[in-house]
């Protein structure tokens, strides 16, 4: 058997010569005992300066295809001094992005927290966010998106087919468009408490039904026993 996170990969060049019966779709999974709504302690995270700010969270390796540059430029376009970008992740291009925030004169609105391998700390970052953005040009499937879902956080996602097929409760923007991302962030940050609560409930339910670690392991076990 060949496991894929999305049946759409059946059409990929790599799988075209594989019998369809051998291809099995099993979604990524998250540990819902860790990734769940909980109070975030900004002081403990060293983010006291972000208290009472509208935090846009980006989590990921700072590779070009992850398009952190789009988020930085969109933050500038937002022209909202109360909005802040929190970047959790490392990579060889971090200095380039720091320079970009300086050149755009938004250094005070961007915090680079570095990499985080500790899931207990990572979930604190998610829960500190007003929204979570996945601006990638390409994703095989976004673990960040489902971790944010499990925490009940509004999502802003590039309109990649795999994300649109898997996730319905999100604000989508045109891939690669700074203006479209700016509008999507504006929409996500302006959600009312009632709208946030509704989105959170739907996301947590979907995470439990489709993306739980136990669900993932059950399907994997069934396939091997198959």
Q: How far apart are CA 48 and CA 44, in angstroms?
A: 8
Q: How far apart are CA 149 and CA 134, in angstroms?
A: 12
Query: Does residue 90 contact residue 61 with C-beta atoms inside 8 Å?
Result: yes
In order along the chain (226 residues), what is the average pLDDT of each group of 10 residues?
A: 71 67 83 94 93 96 94 96 96 92 96 94 96 92 92 96 87 97 97 95 92 88 85
pLDDT of residue 21: 79
Query: Does residue 69 contact residue 138 with C-beta atoms inside 8 Å?
Result: no
Print burial letters for 140-149: b (CB count within 10 Å at least 16), e (below 16): ebbbbbbbbb
- The token pair at 136 is 């990638």
- Report the chain's C-alpha Rg in angstroms: 18
| 59 CB neighbour count, 10 Å cutoff | 25
**What average pLDDT does the structure give for the chain?**
91
Residue 90 half-sphere exposure toward CB, CA atoms < 13 A: 4
Residue 223 half-sphere exposure toward CB, CA atoms < 13 A: 16
Q: How far apart are CA 111 and CA 85, in angstroms?
A: 6
pLDDT of residue 185: 97
> What is the pTM assigned to this prediction?
0.91
Torsion angle of the four alpha carbons 59, 178, 111, 153, in this order, in degrees rounded to the nearest 10: -50
Q: Find, among 158, 139, 152, 143, the residue nearest to 74 by Cα.
A: 158
Query: Does residue 107 contact residue 101 with C-beta atoms inside 8 Å?
Result: yes
pLDDT of residue 27: 82
Query: Does residue 26 contact residue 215 with C-beta atoms inside 8 Å?
Result: no
pLDDT of residue 202: 94
pLDDT of residue 26: 83
Helix (H, G, I), strand (E, B) or coil at 164: helix
Place of tokens 């979604």: 27
Q: Which residues lie closer than 8 Å to 205 by C-beta, 6 or more apart? A: none
């Amino acid at each position: 058997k060949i496991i894929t996170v999305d049946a759409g990969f059946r059409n990929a060049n790599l799988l075209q010569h594989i019998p369809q019966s051998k291809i099995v779709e099993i979604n990524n999974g998250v540990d819902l005992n860790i990734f769940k709504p909980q109070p975030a302690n900004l002081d403990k995270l060293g983010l006291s300066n972000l208290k009472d700010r509208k935090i846009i969270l980006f989590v990921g390796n700072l590779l070009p295809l992850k398009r952190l540059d789009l988020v930085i430029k969109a933050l500038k376009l937002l022209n909202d001094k109360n909005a802040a970008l929190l970047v959790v992740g490392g990579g060889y291009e971090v200095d380039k992005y720091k320079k970009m925030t300086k050149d755009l004169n938004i250094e005070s609105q961007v915090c680079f927290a570095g990499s985080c391998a500790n899931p207990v700390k990572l979930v604190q970052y998610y829960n500190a966010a007003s929204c979570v953005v996945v601006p990638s040009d390409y994703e095989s499937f976004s673990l960040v998106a489902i971790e944010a879902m499990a925490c009940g956080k509004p999502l802003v996602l590039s309109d990649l087919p795999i994300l649109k097929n898997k996730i319905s409760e999100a604000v989508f923007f045109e891939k690669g468009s700074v203006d479209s991302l700016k509008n999507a962030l504006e929409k996500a940050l302006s959600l009312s408490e009632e709208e946030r609560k509704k989105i959170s409930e739907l996301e947590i339910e979907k995470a439990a039904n489709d993306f739980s670690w136990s669900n993932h392991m059950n399907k994997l076990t069934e396939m091997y026993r198959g």
